[in-house]
């Protein structure tokens, strides 16, 4: 959470550039923001509560500035306020921070004994004071930063300017992402690549404990022993288009409408040369006898779909865990066990920790990740990239879709190598994959606003489904909670009568998902049970199953396709219903309250 950016070079428009980069990083947190810059060798700080627009109004963009840094915050320690927002300044040190310092309370106590006084509730101000204290002793900021790693616990990416070196930016990271970008006009540091794409596509991924020293016309990277190191310069191949709305009212809507392309980009390379692509382009998974899937939020829901698909098509037992639980559970390592980590950002703290714990226990790891070069992608034994492109809206849509598509491919691969799917069946499924983008477009072209009108004033909504339709219900429910702020619960359809059905009253909306023909009649019975208690039924099913169901108050019919691919079509109406509902409620759809896209804290 939080985004940081810094610049030093010849471009005098630094203030405007910093603000533009912060706007791109705003998806990482947006409850307050601030910048620090150097003018006449003096560090100046401007901060404001709320979104970047609020900060922007306080800045005089006519000032010529060639060195500065900025921060957009997702509050962890202390409420969103000007005093708690970054940059923080203590003594000679000005600093912005993305991450969490876990031992800040003991450090704070110690620093108070040395006379430091604190204005904010943040962990960041404590580190700022610590650096200032060490700097006053050593008078060498690089040396201080190389020692810092032994003194602070937690995650961080810091950008630092010292009063004594107003022509230098220092930066250091541990477990929070940081890149260094090289442009013709100077150097940027940032929490991620889109933030710098208006200026350059050349960047260097900074690893844990590396220290950056940026001057106007040179940059240096050191390891923790302060030895200079050379690092590979990467070129970002994608386009800046991901960070513009392209005529859509919201990033979320744009991203949903990219889903047909996402399926082409993610799935087609694995089928383009027939079965050999599916086998050659995936790691060899034959030896694994059981699989754990570990993830958070929507990625966890994608994992639940992966479980059903892998169990049904490859007959391999799969256990799905929420990463924040997995990291503290007792692990039973065995060489036939594979842990699959799923993460759009590749930086989610709990998923990253789970990956590291699996590795410490000698368990093989496979990451399904969207962001190339992210921590999870770099640290996993194997990685499969989904090709969703940059996702800006905080609520994931296209990346989630690509995650479930990747699980379809994994299930297919495992089913084939375990001789459970034959060549004819593979060919049939490949043909259906080729049809998917067209079918997605059909689903996208439907109008879901009538359903939104029906539910947008509701306080409680239930989603129900059985088997693979249950995680679809969970994802639909999360989308609605996340962006439309409507309380909703997803239930395994057969479970309602064990307690929750007592909440069903006249007109309580139930969004019932029934796409799996094996449990169809069972789900229908459950729908009838709630209908009998007065519920308003919004019923989502497939064209082949849409038979005599005249008790549904509203129907959503998606085209029928192989059960391996059906969830890809089923989730899209639920994403659009959430979008339309949030729009009717006037919610801030791309940046829902209290959230951030990349959850880099535990
Ligand atoms: O980047 P990740 O896929 O690891 O993120 C996991 C969750 O934080 C994420 O899916 C979250 O639940 C989304 N905001 C839901 O739309």
Substitution site in 294, 297, 398 for ligand 1 pocket (most atoms within 8 Å of beta carbon): 297
- DSSP assignment of 110-140 equals HHHHTT----SS-HHHHHHHHHHHHHHHH--
Cα 395 to ligand 1 centroid, rounded to whole Å? 7
Cα 445 to ligand 1 centroid, rounded to whole Å? 26
Ligand 1 pocket residue status of 353, Cβ below 6 Å: no
Substitution site in 296, 342, 355, 575 for ligand 1 pocket (most atoms within 8 Å of beta carbon): 296
pLDDT for the residue 243? 62
Question: Which is the catalytic residue, given 89, 174, 387, 597?
Answer: 597
Ligand 1 pocket residue status of 599, Cβ below 6 Å: yes
Does the pLDDT value for residue 385 go beyond 80? yes
CA angle 529, 532, 537 (to 5 degrees): 80
Cα 348 to ligand 1 centroid, rounded to whole Å? 8
Ligand 1 atom closest to the Cα of residue 479 is 16
Q: Whose CA is nearest to atom 4 of ligand 1?
A: 343
Does the pLDDT value for residue 77 go beyond 90? no
Cα 299 to ligand 1 centroid, rounded to whole Å? 6
* pLDDT tens, residue by residue, 175-194: 888 999 999 999 999 998 88
Angle subtended by helix axes 141-151 and 123-138, to nearest 10: 130
Cα 296 to ligand 1 centroid, rounded to whole Å? 6
Q: Whose CA is nearest to atom 12 of ligand 1?
A: 297
Does the pLDDT value for residue 487 go beyond 90? yes
Cβ atoms 111, 132 nearer than 8 A? no
Ligand 1 pocket residue status of 341, Cβ below 6 Å: no
Query: Cα separations (Å) of 552 from 196, 537, 538, 572?
Result: 50, 5, 6, 20
Ligand 1 pocket residue status of 299, Cβ below 6 Å: yes
* pLDDT tens, residue by residue, 451-476: 999 999 999 999 999 999 999 999 99
The beta strands (E) that lie in 468-564 are given as 487-492, 509-514, 536-542, 554-558
* pLDDT tens, residue by residue, 413-455: 999 999 999 999 999 999 999 999 999 999 999 999 999 999 9
Cα 161 to ligand 1 centroid, rounded to whole Å? 33
Ligand 1 pocket residue status of 351, Cβ below 6 Å: yes
Cβ contacts of 371 within 8 Å, gap of 6 or more: 192, 344, 345, 346, 347, 377
pLDDT for the residue 488? 96
CB neighbourhood size of 539 (10 A): 22
* pLDDT tens, residue by residue, 262-274: 999 999 999 999 9
Question: Which is the catalytic residue, given 2, 128, 296, 587?
Answer: 2
Ligand 1 pocket residue status of 526, Cβ below 6 Å: no
Task: Specify the range with the lowest mean pLDDT, choosing from 373-377, 510-514, 585-589, 596-600.
Answer: 596-600
Cα 101 to ligand 1 centroid, rounded to whole Å? 22
- CA-CA-CA-CA dihedral for 203, 208, 209, 215, to nearest 10: 10
Q: Quote the CA–CA distance of 528 and 525 in Å, as a whole number.
A: 5
Ligand 1 pocket residue status of 575, Cβ below 6 Å: no
pLDDT for the residue 370? 95
Judge whether 296 counts as a catalytic residue.
Answer: no
Ligand 1 pocket residue status of 298, Cβ below 6 Å: yes
Q: Whose CA is nearest to atom 16 of ligand 1?
A: 395
Ligand 1 pocket residue status of 396, Cβ below 6 Å: yes
Choose among 466, 471, 456: nearest CA to 523: 466
Does the pLDDT value for residue 547 go beyond 70? no
Q: Which residue has the higher pLDDT, 321 or 75?
A: 321
Choose among 293, 145, 165: nearest CA to 223: 145
Cα 366 to ligand 1 centroid, rounded to whole Å? 18
Ligand 1 pocket residue status of 345, Cβ below 6 Å: yes
Q: Quote the CA–CA distance of 404 and 392 in Å, as a whole number.
A: 19
pLDDT for the residue 333? 78
* Average pLDDT of the chain to the nearest whole number: 94
Q: Whose CA is nearest to atom 8 of ligand 1?
A: 297
Q: Whose CA is nearest to atom 9 of ligand 1?
A: 297
Judge whether 57 counts as a catalytic residue.
Answer: no
Ligand 1 atom closest to the Cα of residue 599 is 8
Label residue 142 left, alpha or beta by phi (over 0 means left) and psi (-120 to 50 means alpha): alpha
pLDDT for the residue 141? 97
Helix (H, G, I), strand (E, B) or coil at 512: strand
pLDDT for the residue 29? 83
Does the pLDDT value for residue 240 go beyond 70? no
CB neighbourhood size of 341 (10 A): 29
Substitution site in 396, 571, 593 for ligand 1 pocket (most atoms within 8 Å of beta carbon): 396
Does the pLDDT value for residue 362 go beyond 90? yes
Cα 292 to ligand 1 centroid, rounded to whole Å? 18
Ligand 1 pocket residue status of 34, Cβ below 6 Å: no
At 1, the pLDDT band (50, 70, 90 cuts) reads confident
Helix (H, G, I), strand (E, B) or coil at 481: helix
* Mean pLDDT for the stretch of residues 108-121: 96
* pLDDT tens, residue by residue, 285-307: 999 999 999 999 999 999 999 99
Integer-rounded Cα Rg, in Å, for the chain is: 25
């Amino acid at each position: 959470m939080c985004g940081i950016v810094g610049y030093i070079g010849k471009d005098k428009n630094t203030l405007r550039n910093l603000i533009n980069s912060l706007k791109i990083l705003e998806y990482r947190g947006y409850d307050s923001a601030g910048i620090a810059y150097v003018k006449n060798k003096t560090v100046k700080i401007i901060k404001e509560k709320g979104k970047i627009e609020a900060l922007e109004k306080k800045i005089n963009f006519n000032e010529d500035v060639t060195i500065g840094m900025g921060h957009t915050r997702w509050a962890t320690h202390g409420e969103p306020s000007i005093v708690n927002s970054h940059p923080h300044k203590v003594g000679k040190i000005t600093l912005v921070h993305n991450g969490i310092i876990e031992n800040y309370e003991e450090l704070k106590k110690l620093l108070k004994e040395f006379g430091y006084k604190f204005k904010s509730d943040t962990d960041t101000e404590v580190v700022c004071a610590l650096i200032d204290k060490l700097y006053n002793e050593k008078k060498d900021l690089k040396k201080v930063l190389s020692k810092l790693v032994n003194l602070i616990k937690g995650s961080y990416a810091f950008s630092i300017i010292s009063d004594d070196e107003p022509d230098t930016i220092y930066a250091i990271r541990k477990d929070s992402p940081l890149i260094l970008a090289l442009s013709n006009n100077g150097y940027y540091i940032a929490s991620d690549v889109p933030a710098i794409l208006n200026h350059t596509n050349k960047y260097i991924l900074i690893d844990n404990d590396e220290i950056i020293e940026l001057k106007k016309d040179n940059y240096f990277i050191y390891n923790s022993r302060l030895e200079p190191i050379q690092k590979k310069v990467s070129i970002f191949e994608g386009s800046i288009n991901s960070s513009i709305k392209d005529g859509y009212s919201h990033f979320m809507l744009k991203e949903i409408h990219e889903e047909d392309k996402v399926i082409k980009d993610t799935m087609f390379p694995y089928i383009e040369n027939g079965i050999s692509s599916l086998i050659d382009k995936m790691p060899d998974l034959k030896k694994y006898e059981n699989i754990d899937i570990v993830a958070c939020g929507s990625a966890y829901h994608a994992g639940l779909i992966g479980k059903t698909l892998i169990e049904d098509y490859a007959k391999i037992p799969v256990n799905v865990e929420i990463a924040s639980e997995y990291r503290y559970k007792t692990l039973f390592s065995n060489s036939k066990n594979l842990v699959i980590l799923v993460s759009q950002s590749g930086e989610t703290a709990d998923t990253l920790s789970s990956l590291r714990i699996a590795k410490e226990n000698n368990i093989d790891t496979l990451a399904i990740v969207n962001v190339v070069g992210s921590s999870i992608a770099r640290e996993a034994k194997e990685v499969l990239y989904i090709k969703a492109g940059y996702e800006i809206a905080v609520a994931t849509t296209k990346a989630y879709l690509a995650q479930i598509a990747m699980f379809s491919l994994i299930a297919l691969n495992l089913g084939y190598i375990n001789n459970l799917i034959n060549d004819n069946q593979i060919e049939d499924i490949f043909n259906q994959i080729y049809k998917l983008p067209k079918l997605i477009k059909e689903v996208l072209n439907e109008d879901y606003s009538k359903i939104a009108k029906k539910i947008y004033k509701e306080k409680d909504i239930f989603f129900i489904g059985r088997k693979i339709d249950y995680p679809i219900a969970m994802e639909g429910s999360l989308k609605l909670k996340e962006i439309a702020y409507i309380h909703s619960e997803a239930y395994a359809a057969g479970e309602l009568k064990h307690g929750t059905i007592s909440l069903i009253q006249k007109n309580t909306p139930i969004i019932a998902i029934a796409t799996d023909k094996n449990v169809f009649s069972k789900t229908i019975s459950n729908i009838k049970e709630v209908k009998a208690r007065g519920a308003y039924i919004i019923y989502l099913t497939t064209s082949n199953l849409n038979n005599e169901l005249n008790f549904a108050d509203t129907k959503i019919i998606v085209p029928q396709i192989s059960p391996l691919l059906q969830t890809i079509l089923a989730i899209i109406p639920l994403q659009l219903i959430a979008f339309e509902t949030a729009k009717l409620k006037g919610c801030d759809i791309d940046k829902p309250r209290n959230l951030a896209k990349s959850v880099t804290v535990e």
